[in-house]
Structure 1
């Protein structure tokens, strides 16, 4: 018998796992930074009208009001257009307190510059939009913007 053994021809060296925790934490950090959290889940059907002149604004001083028919998951609320603020259906009389609460939750320097974004389904009647605007006037929230989709270039 020989004192020294020959290495087997098929053995591969062991893979070093020393850098594996670094890679895992780097991926975790990347996905934490790159992920966008949803503000609220939409409870209505919302097909926005198209416009040819669209301007994008910052969301730091904006609160959104949605209007449209309840989506298929929320048919128990009927087929009439409803108003949604945050994650709840509200009535016309609840718009003013909700907007004032959103204004109170903002930074002090942005409270006087609050803008309400109306995301209204294109099949919603103008009477509901008019009622929403009347309530916003009562809340002294006069900066209103209508959210639309950009018209596709042809």
Structure 2
């Protein structure tokens, strides 16, 4: 009859790390796909007006955004008048030309004629400021302008 011997050493076997790179890669891929990158942090109130004839822009990577509105509650120390926001900072009307030049420099040369300037303007914004923005855009030959709105009845703009 066979006799079974008990092991003398109570050592734990080594953990295999062969599948660890696969697990790390799967987690990395998951977070890359599931994460949404935010473009700009709005420092202004941006309650867009309503419009009934709305079209979507085809290529959003060819759009330069200019925001205008009153500073939000966290940024009241900048005043209560309508302000311009370019990327993540408040700006003056005179800064628009430099902003457009920087955006054009970041794109390939063959795409520059297709760049569109989108104005995301609060519905209570001062139209004098919007006129000044448009004058600056004319000076730098940025003539393709898009007004960003919400789809709905125009009567909701009151």
Q: Partner of 1:127 in structure 2?
A: 128
- The yes-or-no answer on 1:46 pairing with 2:37 is no
CA distance in 1, matches of 2:112, 2:34: 29
Name the count of aligned residue pairs.
142
Deviation at 1:25, TM superposition (A): 3.2
Distance 2:27 2:105 in 1: 37
- Measure how far apart 1:21 and its partner are: 5.9
Q: RMSD of the TM alignment (CA)? A: 2.3
**Matches of 1:87 and 1:42, distance apart in 2:** 7
TM-score, normalised by the number of residues in structure 2: 0.79
Deviation at 1:22, TM superposition (A): 3.7
- 1:101 maps to 102
Gaps of 5+ in 2: 5-15, 154-158
TM-score, length-normalised on structure 1?
0.81
Aligned to 2:78: 77
Task: State how far apart, in whole Å, the 1-side matches of 2:39 and 2:131 are.
Answer: 25
1:58-69 mapped onto 2 (5 Å cutoff): 58-69=59-70
Alignment of 1:108-147 (within 5 A): 108-147=109-148
Q: Please say if 1:90 is aligned against 2:98.
A: no
Deviation at 1:24, TM superposition (A): 5.0
Range moving further from structure 2, 74-83 or 109-118: 109-118
CA distance in 2, matches of 1:91, 1:17: 57
Q: Tell me the alpha carbon deviations over residues 126-154 of structure 1, each in whole angstroms, 9 at most, x when there is no partner.
A: 111111000000010000000111228xx
1:66-100: CA deviation from partner (whole Å, max 9, x where unpaired): 00000111111000000000111111111111111
